Amino acid sequence: MAGRLLVVGTPIGNLGDLSPRAVEALRTADLVVAEDTRVAARLLASAGLKRPTSAFHDHNAQDRLAGLVARLDAGETLALTSDAGMPTISDPGARLVAAAREAGALVQVIPGPSAVTAALAIAGVEAPGFVFGGFLPTRPLSARLARLDGLLTAAAAARLPLVLFEAPTRVRSLLVAVADRVPEAAVAVGRELTKMHEEVVVGTASEVAASPPLARGEFTLVISGLPVVEPTGVDTEAILGAARAIGLPDRAVVELLRAAGLGRREAYRAVQQSATEP
């Protein structure tokens, strides 16, 4: 009998946010697959549990994948966790989910906290959705800025806020880059959300960058009020170029083009034509 992979949402800071269902999933797992086993050990201890753990991260995912799938084939239950929030969101867990499903294992999700939705909620931005960019590339600088430009363009075209993650050592430089590009946009920066020193700073990008509280911790940025250029026609090539730069799937590109004012058929035609171009 094929095993089960339980995708377990974990607290983004406050360990009290671990749900009873998540505790039960961890308790029944034969193995807890964690981004960082030290973080998993603290989580398990807070729930009064002792379970074997195995590290699964960017540097060892390829080597560990076959062994984990073999355990699923043997009928075991694996619990996939993240350091914070939902697994597969800006972490390598998606590879294990895809491999488990391909192997015929039962994949179930135990929802939990998310820094993305927590930041959006506390930012107070009214919008029907959002564009999520995760972490920008750390290097080279040209790739980092190109991705930022593409995400800002995509979010502006869709008239949606942009959500980004950033490390404390790079958050100020990111805010400066945003201020250079969209000085009038509103930015809400959440630091250490749900933790003892939770803080949210709101203002323009330049105002937030100049605020002294941004010192350490994990950061989630919500960038809203992005200016939308209203041309006489839709700049299809600019949208397609930005979408290609950030690797958006075709369906998302179609929706961006439609949000910019293109008809459904025209949007599909533009995306299909773009896919055939070198």
Q: Can you give the CATH number for the domain in which 215 is found?
A: 3.30.950.10
Name the H helices within 52-187: 61-73, 93-102, 115-123, 141-158, 171-181
Q: What is the pLDDT of residue 233?
A: 56
Q: What is the pLDDT of residue 132?
A: 94
Do 208 and 234 meet the contact criterion of CB atoms below 8 Å apart? no
| Residue 192 in domain | yes
Residue showing tokens 């039960």: 24
Do 181 and 264 fall into the same domain?
A: no
278: DSSP letter: -
Nearest to 247 by CA among 134, 156, 165: 134
Do 147 and 137 meet the contact criterion of CB atoms below 8 Å apart? yes
Q: What is the pLDDT along the chain (278 residues), one digit of tens a residue?
A: 689 999 999 999 899 999 999 999 999 999 999 999 999 999 999 999 999 999 998 888 889 999 999 999 999 999 999 999 999 888 888 999 999 999 999 999 999 999 999 999 999 999 999 999 999 998 888 889 999 999 999 999 889 999 999 998 899 999 999 999 999 999 999 998 998 889 999 999 989 988 755 667 789 999 999 987 554 456 788 788 877 777 788 888 888 887 777 778 888 888 888 877 65
Q: What is the pTM of this model?
A: 0.77
Do 12 and 107 fall into the same domain?
A: yes
Do 78 and 36 fall into the same domain?
A: yes
Do 261 and 255 meet the contact criterion of CB atoms below 8 Å apart? no
Number of domains making up the chain: 3
Distance CA 179, CA 252 (A): 26
Distance CA 175, CA 190 (A): 13
Distance CA 278, CA 23 (A): 50
Output the six-digit token pair for 275. 């896919």
Do 50 and 16 fall into the same domain?
A: yes
* Burial (Cβ within 10 Å: 0-12, 13-18, ≥19) of residue 54: middle
Do 135 and 179 fall into the same domain?
A: yes
Domain boundary among 72, 92, 113: 113
Do 94 and 22 fall into the same domain?
A: yes
| Residue 231 in domain | no
Q: Which residues pair with 132 in a beta bridge?
A: 163
Do 113 and 17 meet the contact criterion of CB atoms below 8 Å apart? yes
Q: What is the pLDDT of residue 265?
A: 82
Do 8 and 109 fall into the same domain?
A: yes
- Greatest Cα pair distance, the chain, in angstroms, is 63
Do 102 and 141 fall into the same domain?
A: no
Domain boundary among 113, 135, 166: 113
DSSP-derived pairing of the beta strands 186-191 and 77-80: unpaired
Helices 236-246 and 141-158, packing angle to 10 deg: 130
Q: What is the pLDDT of residue 231?
A: 46
- The domain in which residue 35 lies consists of 4-113
Domain boundary among 77, 92, 113: 113
Do 13 and 101 fall into the same domain?
A: yes
Give the chain's radius of gyration (CA, Å).
21
Do 122 and 218 fall into the same domain?
A: yes
| Residue 34 in domain | yes
| Residue 230 in domain | no
Supply the CATH number for residue 104's domain. 3.40.1010.10
Do 32 and 44 meet the contact criterion of CB atoms below 8 Å apart? yes
Do 209 and 256 fall into the same domain?
A: no
Do 131 and 155 meet the contact criterion of CB atoms below 8 Å apart? yes
Q: What is the pLDDT of residue 256?
A: 80
Q: What is the pLDDT of residue 232?
A: 44
Do 81 and 120 fall into the same domain?
A: no
